[in-house]
Amino acid sequence: MDIYLLVLRLVHVFGGIFWAGGAFMMNFFIGPTIGATGQAGKQFMGHLMVRMRLSTIMTTIAILTLLAGGLLYWRDSQGFTSMWMSAGSGIGFGIGGAAGLIGFVFGAMFGQANKKMAFIGSQIKDGTPTPEQLAQLQNAQKMLKVVTPLHVSFLIVAAVFMSIARYIVL
């Protein structure tokens, strides 16, 4: 049994599940709920992002997922030199990996905007933000409206191609 391969695959698969699953939950359930619950939602988000350090944890898991995936691709392609890279599975894993990298960039932007909103939300004491806080919150919300669908879309593409890559025949 190849322990190195086993560890890389476990890190990559479970990391991907946690990363993409967390992104999907934030996008489809937690984010809309926070928006619908007013001040309570802002307090929840502040706790989730600042005290529970969700953004830091998600970033760490995403990095580990990408590193494990890169090492797996390196191994399968014999150092990016084999013909496997131009075969169906090599192309499929390559597309999935590229989508994961792009998703990571948008995810980092998503995380920073959420972290900023959570920090500002935790600073608002009476439920009414100052004009400066309101402007910062609005800027972060604009950023989220742009990067969230891109983040989730690229993670979906990554998950699809990682799931079917071994079965792509050219």
Average pLDDT of the segment spanning 71-94: 96
Closest CA to 162 of 19, 25, 22: 19
> Which tens digits make up the pLDDT trace of 10-19?
999 999 999 9
pLDDT reported for residue 50:
80
Q: What is the pLDDT of residue 46?
A: 79
pLDDT digits (tens, 9 = 90+) for 24-72: 999 999 989 988 998 788 788 878 888 899 889 999 999 999 999 999 9
User: For the chain, what percent of residues have pLDDT higher than 70?
Assistant: 100
Domains of the chain, by residue range, sit at 3-167
Q: Give the mean pLDDT of 92-99.
A: 98
Per-residue tokens: 113 = 């905007």
What are the distances in angstroms from CA 60 to CA 67, 125, 151?
11, 31, 16
The pTM of this model reads 0.89
